[in-house]
Structure 1
Amino acid sequence: MSETHLAELLRSRGLRLTAQRQLVLRAVHDLGHATPEQVHAAVREVASGVNITTIYRTLELLERLGLVRHTHLSHGSPTYHAADDDQHVHLVCRSCGRVGDMDPELLRPLADRLCAERGFRVDIGHVALFGVCGECGERT
């Protein structure tokens, strides 16, 4: 998202574009999948005075604006990614912690069956599958 578009979106909501908001959004885009702590570390490389509370508040605002999404990939902090990324299933390696993506259509048959049999609608964008990635699997 361009800074101009972000500024217009914020202005339309009675908010202003701040350096912190720009940096947080850029960090989420650059990191791909990141916890608030990882976003904080990336932002602090550019602006050392930004505290973790500002990061959390900014991520919440950006999510309300539809610019980022979060999912829970473990018992810790949520993980954020850009909302303009295609919807995807998260693949989380229990060995190295790496997060990969998978086409959600691979889960469509299961989602359709759950809906038909139980009336349960799966939010595929929040699905996380845990296991061991190919690289870590080769080492064992």
Structure 2
Amino acid sequence: MTDRGSLRSTLHQRGMRMTPQRQLVLDAVRELEHATPEQVCKRVQGTAATVNITTVYRALDLLEELGLVRHTHLGHGAPTYSVEEHEHVHLVCHRCDDIDEVPTELLGDLADRLDAARGFALDATHLALSGVCRKCREANPHVEERR
């Protein structure tokens, strides 16, 4: 469900109106790939200067409820939004704040172990892992990280 007609149809089925603001917010998330509400707002205001952050938050909440976007917490601060089909695990360096991405399949063994041991179904598409990136580890190899 990625085009304007699908969004319009989904909203109409739920008794809601398609608004230009909702479409602009969805378009901004798609274009930015990962974006905080503030970044989405800035992008939307490039087209529609009167759209405020409250409207963006409401649109993001609705789009998430409709399954068109998802949010992930990549550290402290505002959540980051991406489109539903944009699936990967985020690796967040807590030293330099760099963010990398890896395929969700890398967590397959962990997901299987959690399911077997706890009956827990891991959603790796909605996940950020915190640690130290290679660059930071190479710059300071004597600092041990928690395991």
TM, length-normalised to structure 1: 0.86
- Aligned residue-pair number: 139
CA drift at 1:44: 1.2
Q: Distance in 1 between matches of 2:44 and 2:139?
A: 34
Q: Distance in 2 between matches of 1:66 and 1:100?
A: 24
Which stretch shifts more, 111-120 or 93-102? Answer: 93-102
CA drift at 1:129: 1.7
Change in 2 beyond 3 A, CA 1:96/1:41: farther
Max Rg structure: 2
Deviations 1:17-61 (A, max 9, x none): 111111100010011111111111111111111111101000000
The 8 Å contact of residues 7 and 16 in structure 1, kept in 2 or not, is answered as yes
Q: Distance in 1 between matches of 2:132 and 2:28?
A: 27
**Number of the residue aligned with 2:81:** 80
Change in 2 beyond 3 A, CA 1:25/1:7: same
Deviations 1:58-97 (A, max 9, x none): 0000011111011111121111110122x32112243554
Change in 2 beyond 3 A, CA 1:97/1:47: farther
**Number of the residue aligned with 2:6:** 5
**Number of the residue aligned with 1:104:** 104
Q: Which amino acid aligns with 1:94?
A: H
Q: Distance in 2 between matches of 1:18 and 1:29?
A: 17
Change in 2 beyond 3 A, CA 1:111/1:18: same
C-alpha RMSD of the superposition: 2.1
TM, length-normalised to structure 2: 0.82
**Number of the residue aligned with 2:25:** 24
Q: Distance in 2 between matches of 1:41 and 1:133?
A: 29
Q: % of aligned pairs identical?
A: 55
Q: Distance in 2 between matches of 1:126 and 1:110?
A: 15
Q: Does 1:64 align with 2:65?
A: yes
